[in-house]
């Protein structure tokens, strides 16, 4: 296997590891009787290549290779599982929106738990 092929092989293996299900679905957060699962969207691109050649006068030869990758991630939703069932809270676009969505969801769960404890 050439150096370039080895680089591309390693690059693909790293991207595959990043895209495991546990990476797309974050670690569950348990608040009282509710469980919150963050969901993210991933995008990746990668490429690689190699080449070699000889000078026009055929006195010198050379070769080269390279590989590269880029990617991004953005939060998309929260899956909330509680006594009322399962629901999806979509995250709006924008930096503060994720914090607002999480804070709102946690507040609603906490309020519901307070109401339930008053009833008992």
DSSP states of 3-35 as a string?
A: HHHHHHHHHHHHHHHHTSHHHHB---EEETTEE
Would you state the pLDDT for residue 21? 56
Structure tokens belonging to residue 63: 């070769």
**Pairing label, strands 34-54, 85-90:** unpaired
Domain segments of the chain as ranges: 3-119
| Residue among 79, 15, 80, 68 at smallest CA distance from 42 | 15
Global pTM value = 0.49
Say yes or no to pLDDT of 19 above 70: no
Sheet strands side by side (includes 85-90)? 29-31, 34-54, 61-82, 85-90
Q: Which residue has the tokens 């092989």?
A: 9
Q: Is 21 exposed, middle or buried (0-12, 13-18, 19+ CB in 10 A)?
A: exposed
Would you state the pLDDT for residue 113? 65
Would you state the pLDDT for residue 103? 63
The per-residue pLDDT for range 54-92, each reduced to its tens digit, is: 988 989 999 888 877 787 777 888 898 988 899 998 887
| Region 22-33 average pLDDT | 79
């Amino acid at each position: 296997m050439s150096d370039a092929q080895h680089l591309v092989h390693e690059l693909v293996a790293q991207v595959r590891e990043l895209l495991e299900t546990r990476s797309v679905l974050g670690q569950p957060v348990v608040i009282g009787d509710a469980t919150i699962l963050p969901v993210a969207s991933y995008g990746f691109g990668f490429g690689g290549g190699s080449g070699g050649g000889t000078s026009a006068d055929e006195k010198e030869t050379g070769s080269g290779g390279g590989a590269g990758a880029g990617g991004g991630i953005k939060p998309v939703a929260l899956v909330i599982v509680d006594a009322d069932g399962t629901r999806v809270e979509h995250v709006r676009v924008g930096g503060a929106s994720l914090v607002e969505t999480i804070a709102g969801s946690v507040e609603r769960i906490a309020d519901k738990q307070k109401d339930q404890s008053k009833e008992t």
